[in-house]
Amino acid sequence: MLKRIYSYFKDQQIVYLATSDKVQPRVRPVTLIHKNGRFFIITGARGGASSGKLLQIKENPRIEYYLTLENEDSNGFIRAEGEAKIVEDPILRAEIYDSVNWAKDYFKTVDHPDYFLLEIKHTSFKYRNPGEYEVLEQIV
């Protein structure tokens, strides 16, 4: 099942990321980057290290995101749970920055102080194939 779930991920796509702001959930659209079997999010454009998203992740790295799966007749979804970790490795930071054209619109260089790269380490997926009723769960 994991292979089927991974088949829905593109190089880049919008997902809805949930973090926790103490007792209040916070959800926002982000671009999920899938590269070499790993998952990343570029962030920091609105406040750098002081942005709400980064402060929430530093306090509680547990995240969930939602990806809608669409076809002509019906929808399905992938709900992924995991942890977000700030990437410190300068080579990986540069590799992702260089592979995402729009990153340069927000951060003029890979060394920009507001550029943060998050890596998502999945712990589980909930998946419903478009056109089906059953929700399947896959622990990673």
* Residue 63, pLDDT score: 98
* Residue 46, pLDDT score: 84
Domains: count for the chain: 1
Range(s) of the domain holding residue 93: 2-139
CB 123, CB 140: distance < 8 Å: yes
Reading the block at residue 12, the tokens are 């880049």
Q: Which helix (H) or strand (E) holds 56?
A: helix 52-59
Single pTM value for the model:
0.93
What's 90's domain CATH number? 2.30.110.10
Q: Is 84's pLDDT higher than 90?
A: yes
The Cα 132–Cα 121 span in angstroms is 27
Give the pLDDT mean for 24-37.
97
| Residues across the chain | 140
How far, in Å, are 26, 52, 62, 85, 137 from residue 23 at the CA level?
10, 14, 13, 21, 26
Q: Is 73's pLDDT higher than 90?
A: no
The Cα 139–Cα 11 span in angstroms is 23
